[in-house]
Amino acid sequence: MTSAPTALNSYRALPDPDGHFGNFGGRFVAETLMPLILELEQAYKDAKADPAFQKELDYFLRHYVGRANPLYYAERLTEHLGGAKIYFKREDLNHTGAHKINNCIGQILLAKRMGKTRIIAETGAGQHGVATATVCARFGLPCTVYMGSKDIKRQSSNVFRMRLLGAEVKPVVSGSCSLKDAMNEALRDWVTNVEDTFYIIGTAAGPHPYPELVRDFQCVIGNEAKEQILEQEGRLPDQVIAAVGGGSNAIGLFHPFLDDKEIEVVGVEAAGHGVHTGKHAASLTAGKPGVLHGNRTYLLMDDDGQIKEADSISAGLDYPGIGPEHSWLKDIGRARYVPITDKEALEAFKLCSELEGIIPALECSHAIAQVMKEAPKMGKDKIILMCLSGRGDKDIFTVAEALGVEL
């Protein structure tokens, strides 16, 4: 079912030309979209080989996004937990407050190169929507963002932010009214507007080449972190940790470390009310392989292949699937995926705010919660490198509600 890490013995050589990561990935889309996806694949190949594209990307990452962002030694959290040294890769310090912009800059440069004049996107927590609306404003392209009506309610500040940036936010009222339904609706828009529209997918999922290109644009996280940890510690970390919803910040951090085989790779899924309750978003822990949104990957579904609604306090993790490369990494055993509940994430959210003066997004609060479990078990000579994927300002209303505080 899974393929060996290729003749070169690298974990970084996939996908294959048809977009497969072992048994996962692929191109499961309606025929109307196939020519567009093939066109995108070719355009991305050309762009990758063009030094001018890389130069432009680097320019915007540096001067617009604000990279490189710091690799920060979380000293007080380290002391508190009493084990491994903890480092945060500070994606929260990017322009727009999360890692999502790395990918959006890359994709909008690609859209421009392809002569596309209209941008669409889906969003869950609204971070990807904000990042997309931001780059659309910067590059002068009209932008439509699909967002589940449930998420619009719990992420109202991001909705307002997108509108300020000139984007049209379209509420999606079908299905579970969250991220998966927003993605369905974005695909429906794309299939209807095939000539002029570029679909900026926010996570490392969807039909080939999206999982590959989103990963590549997010690898700036891991590449920088690797250089920074070598500079600060003179060695690589023992463990890298990131939260996974669709999995774009995680694959961006993990990928550059995959071939350093002694490094333990840990992905953290949203367990919602607990995996045993059935109300969660832990597709790798409790799902099975299936086909949705253009790729084969682990999904939450029933015995009839009907997709289940995911559940998480974090809108950004509230998705019943996962990027296909994570499914592959799980199956070959190169990465370990663990569940963290809403309650554990909230504890971590509070602890990080109080000890480090950093209010983390609920998404990466899941990763912090796992660090709280791992670090005390490890010696003080060990190093954990975690992706702090976004800042938590957007989540204060959700957290207040969960803590029973009225704002």
- The answer to whether the beta carbons of residues 293 and 191 sit under 8 Å apart is no
Give the one residue of 15, 26, 106, 272 binding other proteins; rule: CB under 8 A: 26
Instruction: Name which of 262 and 304 has its Cβ closer to other proteins.
Output: 304
CA atoms within 13 A on the CB side of 16: 16
> Is 89 one of the annotated active-site residues of the chain?
no
- The answer to whether the beta carbons of residues 118 and 142 sit under 8 Å apart is yes
Radius of gyration of the chain (CA): 19
Catalytic residue among 41, 85, 116, 122: 122
Alpha helices in 82-171 (DSSP H): 100-113, 127-139, 149-154, 156-164
Instruction: For residues 356 and 76, give the distance between their C-alpha atoms in angstroms, rounded to a whole number.
Output: 6
Give the one residue of 11, 14, 29, 346 binding other proteins; rule: CB under 8 A: 29
Give the one residue of 231, 303, 381, 406 binding other proteins; rule: CB under 8 A: 303
Instruction: Note whether 28 binds other proteins by CB under 8 A.
Output: yes
Instruction: Name which of 61 and 183 has its Cβ closer to other proteins.
Output: 183
My answer on whether omega of the bond before 51 falls inside 30° of 0, hence cis, is no
CA 96 to chain centre: 15
Residue 125 burial (C-beta neighbours within 10 Å; 0-12, 13-18, 19+): buried
> Is 100 one of the annotated active-site residues of the chain?
yes
E-assigned strand segments in 253-308: 264-272, 288-292, 294-299
Give the one residue of 164, 194, 400, 405 binding other proteins; rule: CB under 8 A: 194
Contacting other proteins within 164-183 (CB under 8 A): 174-175, 180-181
Region of 73-81, 277-285, 292-300, 357-365 interacting with other proteins (CB under 8 A): 292-300
Instruction: Note whether 279 binds other proteins by CB under 8 A.
Output: no
Catalytic residue among 41, 89, 91, 100: 100
Instruction: Note whether 290 binds other proteins by CB under 8 A.
Output: yes
Pairing of strands 264-272, 335-341: parallel
Give the one residue of 66, 70, 278, 305 binding other proteins; rule: CB under 8 A: 305
In the complex, which residues of this chain contact other proteins (CB under 8 A)? Answer: 18, 26-36, 174-175, 180-181, 184, 187-188, 191-194, 290-294, 299, 301, 303-307
Active-site residues: which are they? 100, 122, 389
